[in-house]
Amino acid sequence: MKFGKEFVSQMVQEWQDAYMDYNFLKSILKDAQRHRQLNSLPSPEASTTSSQGPLERRGSLYRAFSGLSNQYDQNSPQKSSEEEEGILSAVQEEGSDHRRYQTTFLRLSDEGGEYELLFFRRLDDEFNKVLGFYKKKVEEVVAEADELSKQMNALITLRIRVEKPVMGLSGTNTSIAAVGISPSPATVSVGSTRSGKSESNNFMIRSVFCLKWTRMDVIQEVEMTSEENDKLEDRDDGTAKAADTDHEANGRKADSSSYRPAPISIKDHVKITVQPQSAVLAAKEILTNLNWDVSFTKVELRKAEELMTGAFTEFYQKLLLLKSYCFLNQLAFSKIMKKYDKITHRNASKSYLKMVDDSYLGSSDEVSRLMERVEAAFIKHFANGNHHKGMRTLRPTAKREKHRITFFSGFFTGFSLALMVGIIVALHARDLLKSPGRNQYMNTMFPLYSLFGFIILHMVMYAANIYFWRRYRINYPFIFGFKKGTELGYREVVLLSSGLSVLMMAGILSNLDMDMDPAINSYKALTELVPLGLVMVVICITFCPFNIIYRSSRFFLIQCALHCICAPFYKVTLPDFFLADQLTSQVQALRNLEFYICYYGWGDFRRRTDKCNESKVFEVFYFIVAVIPYWMRFFQCLRRLYEEKDKTQGVNGLKYFSTIVGVVARTSHELRGGLMWKIIAAATSGAAMVINTYWDLVIDWGLLRQNSKNSWLRDKLAIPNRSVYFLAMVLNVILRLAWMQNILGITEAPFLHKRALTAVVAILEIIRRGIWNFFRLENEHLNNVGKYRAFKSVPLPFHHD
C-alpha cells in the first residue's frame, strides 16, 4: 500500500483536518516534476556556472532551501553553513501561543523555482498547523491529568473512609501515617502486599496521588509532604522528578517522625457525584432539584471505582492517539521531503527533518511520560499490581474477524432461503391462497410471525449501515459509545438476523403444513404455540446473564431501552435517542406485540379465534402503543432542553408532538372511519410529514445548504458521489408518504390481504429508517470532525469545592 493511503487509513478521523495535507503537497511536487519534464531541465548536478567550482556548486545547489530555525537564535553569532553561503533565509515569528516557523526559498530564479516556493510555503503552513494542534492537545491532556490526580486522591481517601482499616480514622484530621504508610523525603511509600489479602484491604497498600504536581510530573503515585511541596515550588523550571528506585528503598526505612504526615481530609472538600442508578432516585433528584448526596458506602465506592476506571481508560486512549498523531505527521514530513529531494535532485530532507525533530513536535516527551505514569498508577490502584491485567484493560486487543461467524452467517442465510422457497411451494402446491381459512390465518397467525419479520429486516438494515459506515470510515463505535472491542460488525448482525430468520421460517412452514380448513378440530394447540415460543426464546436470549451471544451488546441495548422508557429521569445520550428513533419506525411491531398479549391472554388460540377487536381495552392500547415511541422522544427532548438550555430541543419536541397528533388521528380514522376523521388525519399527518421531512434533511442530515461547497448539500461529504445524497432525499420524501394509503382508503391490494398491505407499509418505513440511519450518523461524525471531538465525555465521581 502506498504511504498516502496508509496515512489516511491510520488517521484519527475526527482529527483529519489537523493532519498534514500530504496529498496536496504531493500534487505540488508532481506539478514541479511535470514542469521539469516539459522543459527538459537537466539535473542540478550537471549544471555549471563560471563563478563556482565543483565543491562550491555541490554546497549550494544541494542546499537551496531554508530549514526551520528552532535551534538557531537569530541574535547568536553562530550561523549554519547554509546561512553563511547566503542561500537560505529562516524566520521564526513569535506568536501569542507558540512559535510560528517560516521558510524562505531563495532559489526562485531557478527554472521551476515558483513551484518549489509554493511547496515550501504550504509545507510551512502544514507544519505550523500540526505543531499548533499538537501543543493544544498536549495542554488539554495535561490539564485533564491534573483533574485525574485530584479525583484519585479523593477516591483513595474514600476507600479509607469506607473500609476503615484502622481504628480512629473517623476524625477529619487523621493522617496518612495512621494507616501504616511511612513517608519519605520525596514520596509516601508503601510496604509489599501479602498474598491472600482480600480486595477490601488491598487499598491500604496503594500509594496516594499527588495533589500538587507540576508541568512535567502530571500524575504521580505519591502524596507529597509539606516540606517537599515547598521545595518543589521553589524550583525554577516547575518540574518535579520522581525519586529513583534506590531512593525509594531508602525512604521506606526512614523515620516517619521526621516528616509531617499529609492529611486525608479531602473528603471534607469533595462531593460524590455518582448518578442515581434507578429511575425512582433519578426522579427524586429531578423533581426536588437537589444535588444527590449519597452516603459513603461500599456501593458508592464501587461505582466511583468503575467511573475512575473508565476515566483512566479513556484518558489513556487519548494519549495513544496523540502519540500516533505525532508519529504519523513526523513520518509524513519525512516522506514528503524525500519525495522533494528525489524530484528536484536537492539534498534538503536531512536538514529540514532535523529542524522538525528539534521542534516541539519531535522533542516533546510529555505524552510518553504521562503514558508511563498512567500505566503504573492504573496497574497499582485498579489491577492489584497485575501488569498483564492492567494493560489488557488499558489496551484492549483489536477485535479479530472469525471465520466461523462468516461460515454460520452464510449457512443460516442459505437455510432461510431454502425454507422461504419451501413456503412458496407449499402455498402454490396446496392452493392455500384461495383456501377458506385464508382470512382467519391472515388475521391471527400473520401478525404473530410478521413481528419477527420486522425485527429481522431492521437488523439487516443495521448490518448494511455498519458495512457502509466502515467503508466510508465513519467512527460509529465512538459515536455510540461502544466499549472498544465489543462493537458488533455487520457479519455478527447478519449472523443473528439469519439465525432468527431460520426459526421464523421453520415456524411458518410448520403452520402451513396443517390443513387450513376452518374446521376447529383440524388445529393443534402445540403448533399454535410456536410463535409464542419464539418470543420467549428471543426474550430469554436477550436477558441471558451468561457471557454468550454477545452479552455486552445485549446489556448495552437493555440499558438504552431502560433509559428510553424512563426518558425524563436519565441524562439523554446519542445511543438513547437513536434507539428511540428506531422504535418510532417499529410502531406496527409494537402493535403486533400487543396482539400477542391479547391473542394468548384473552383469545381462544386453540381454536384460532381472535376476540381482540371486540375489546375496548385493546382499542385503547392500540392508540397508546402507537404513540409510546414518540412520547419517549418528546420527553427526551424536554430533558435535553432542561439540561442544555438549547431551544432547538424544544422545537424538536414540538415536532414529535405534532407526529403524535397525526398518529392518533390516523388511528382514529383506521378504527372508526368517516369523512371528518379523514380530513383531520390528512391535515395533521400532512403537517407532521412536512415538519419531519424538513428536520430529516436539514437538521439530522445537515443537507440543503445553499452556500456550501457542494451545492444544496454540505461542505463535507463522506460519499464522493453527490448524486447519492439527492437520491436519498427523494427516497426519504417518497417513503414518508406511505401513510397516505390509510387516508386514501387503500386497505387491500389485488393480491394482498389487508394485513399484508399494512406489513408492506411498515417495511417501507423500516427501509426509510435504515437510509436515515446512515446519513444521520455521517452528519454526527462530520460534526465531531469539525470540532475535533475524538473522545467521549467520561463522568467523574467527585466534585471539588
Handedness of CA 649, 650, 655, 657 (dihedral sign): positive
Mean pLDDT, residues 221-230 = 36
User: So what's the pLDDT on residue 170?
Assistant: 40
Q: Which long-range contacts (CB under 8 A, 24 or more apart) does 19-24 make?
A: 19/130, 19/325, 19/328, 19/329, 19/332, 20/126, 20/127, 20/129, 20/130, 20/329, 20/332, 20/333, 20/336, 21/122, 21/126, 22/332, 22/335, 22/336, 24/122
Q: What is the pLDDT of residue 518?
A: 54
**Higher pLDDT, residue 491 or 285:** 491
Q: Are 784 and 476 in contact (CB under 8 A)?
A: no
Segment 737-774, tens digit of pLDDT: 887 776 666 555 666 788 888 899 999 999 999 999 99
The predicted pLDDT at position 535 comes to 94
Instruction: Look at phi and psi of residue 741 and say left if phi exceeds 0, alpha if psi is from -120 to 50, else beta.
Output: alpha
Q: Where are the domains of the chain?
A: 139-295, 403-800
Q: What is the pLDDT of residues 346-391, one digit of tens each?
A: 777 777 788 888 888 888 889 999 999 999 989 988 888 888 888 8
pLDDT(720) > 80: yes
Query: Average pLDDT of 624-651?
Result: 93
Average pLDDT over residues 55-73: 36
At 183 the pLDDT is: 30
Per-residue exposure over 754-778, b if at least 16 CB sit within 10 Å of its own CB, e if not: ebebbbebbbbbbbbbbbbbbbbbb
- Alpha-helical regions (H) of 64-167: 81-84, 113-163
Range 273-286 burial, b when 16+ CB lie within 10 A, else e: bbebeebeebeeeb
Range with the poorest average pLDDT among 98-107, 302-311, 554-563, 648-657: 98-107
Encode pLDDT of 392-432 as tens digits: 888 877 777 788 999 999 999 999 999 999 988 888 877 77
Tell me whether residue 407 is exposed, middle or buried, using C-beta atoms within 10 angstroms of its C-beta: 0 to 12, 13 to 18, 19 or more: exposed
Is residue 572 within 8 Å of 282, Cβ to Cβ? no
- Residue 604, SS3? strand
Q: How confident is the model at residue 486, as a pLDDT? A: 85
Classify residue 47 by its DSSP letter. Answer: -
* pLDDT at residue 631, rounded to an integer: 95
CA distances from 126 to 6, 52, 131 (A): 19, 35, 8
Residue 509, burial from CB neighbour count under 10 angstroms (0-12, 13-18, 19+): middle
Q: Whole-number mean pLDDT of the chain? A: 75
At residue 77, the 3 state secondary structure works out as coil
> For 293-302, what is the mean pLDDT?
69
CB 481 within 8 A of CB 557: no
Residue 216, exposed/middle/buried by CB under 10 A (0-12, 13-18, 19+)? middle
pLDDT at 593 over 70: yes
Residue 19 pLDDT class (50, 70, 90 cuts): very high
User: H/E element holding 91?
Assistant: strand 89-94
> Among residues 245, 248, 249, 256, which one has the least CA distance to residue 181?
256
Q: Residue 536's pLDDT is what?
A: 94
- pLDDT of residue 452 exceeding 80, the answer is yes
Lowest mean pLDDT among 441-445, 457-461, 534-538: 441-445
Residue type, 95: G
- pLDDT value, residue 110: 60
pLDDT at residue number 630: 96
Question: Cell match 403524535: residue?
Answer: 660
Q: What is the pLDDT of residue 457?
A: 96
Which segment of 70-74, 518-522, 566-570, 693-697 scores lowest on mean pLDDT? Answer: 70-74
DSSP 271-310: EE-PPPSSHHHHHHHHHHT------S-HHHHHHHHHHHHH
Within 484-529, residue ranges assigned H as helices are 490-512, 525-528
Q: Encode pLDDT of 130-181 as tens digits.
A: 999 999 999 999 999 988 888 888 888 888 877 765 544 443 333 322 333 2
pLDDT at 196: 38
